Amino acid sequence: MQTLKTHHGFLIFSTIVVAGAVAFFSLCLAAEFKKSKNSDVIVKGRQCYVPKSASFGLGIGALVCLCVAHFVGNFFIFIKFRTKVIGGGGGNCYGAVRKPTVSCILILLSWVLFVGGGVLIGAASSMSQAQPLGEGWVDGDCYVVKKGVYASSAVLGLLALGSTLGSAAITLSQSQKPKPSGRK
């Protein structure tokens, strides 16, 4: 019965992560096509103005989808690790510093990729807000998101969520292994 509950939990968890990944990727690609272009910059003397683009809302939506999917995935993994530790199965990432497991390496990689993708999409979305005349984005200068920034963050986010799913699958399979009886 426990195995059936675990598989249902994994199915629900993976569905949320995959749905979040699809939404995230779609929003990133839409933001890539809707971002401001150099021709949108209006220059008056030494001052500039960039209107708000639709990529601002799309980027924020993508960031929310990425965060929800990543945190749901990590919550599932945390629950599985906690169950293994409390249940006497041993093996958590903190105790595996000398000999890290594949699952721990994948979860660490997912966090690095998540932060990288999140910073990219967050900065790009921030730059996609209206940049008022004379104020700009930073120090009065106007900036436009470079081509491929949203797409790059989409790839980083997908790799992060894929690593999360991989770590969860490994963690689940390890928790399903029968424990040795200790008798010879």
If one counts the domains in the chain, the total is: 1
In a domain, 184, yes or no: no
Query: What is the Cβ-side half-sphere exposure of residue 126, based on CA atoms within 13 angstroms?
Result: 9
In a domain, 95, yes or no: yes
Q: What is the 3-state secondary structure (H, E, C) of the chain?
A: CHHHHHHHHHHHHHHHHHHHHHHHHHHHHHHHHHCCCHHHCEEECCEEEECCCCHHHHHHHHHHHHHHHHHHHHHHHHHHHHHHHHCCCCCCCHHHCCCCCHHHHHHHHHHHHHHHHHHHHHHHHHHCCCECCCCCCECCECCCCCCCHHHHHHHHHHHHHHHHHHHHHHHHHHHHCCCCCCCC
User: Domain range holding 73?
Assistant: 2-176
In a domain, 157, yes or no: yes
Per residue in 134-178, pLDDT (tens digit) is 665 666 677 788 899 999 999 999 999 999 888 888 877 766 655
In a domain, 16, yes or no: yes
In a domain, 118, yes or no: yes
Residue 180 confidence (pLDDT): 57
d(CA 79, CA 5): 13
The pairing of strands 47-49 and 42-44 is antiparallel
The model's confidence at residue 40, banded by pLDDT at 50, 70 and 90, is confident
d(CA 40, CA 181): 70
- pLDDT, the chain, mean: 79
In a domain, 182, yes or no: no
Of 43-52, 90-99, 118-127, the range with the lowest mean pLDDT is 90-99
Q: How many CB atoms lie within 10 A of CB 15?
A: 11
pTM flag (> 0.85): no
In a domain, 160, yes or no: yes
In a domain, 183, yes or no: no
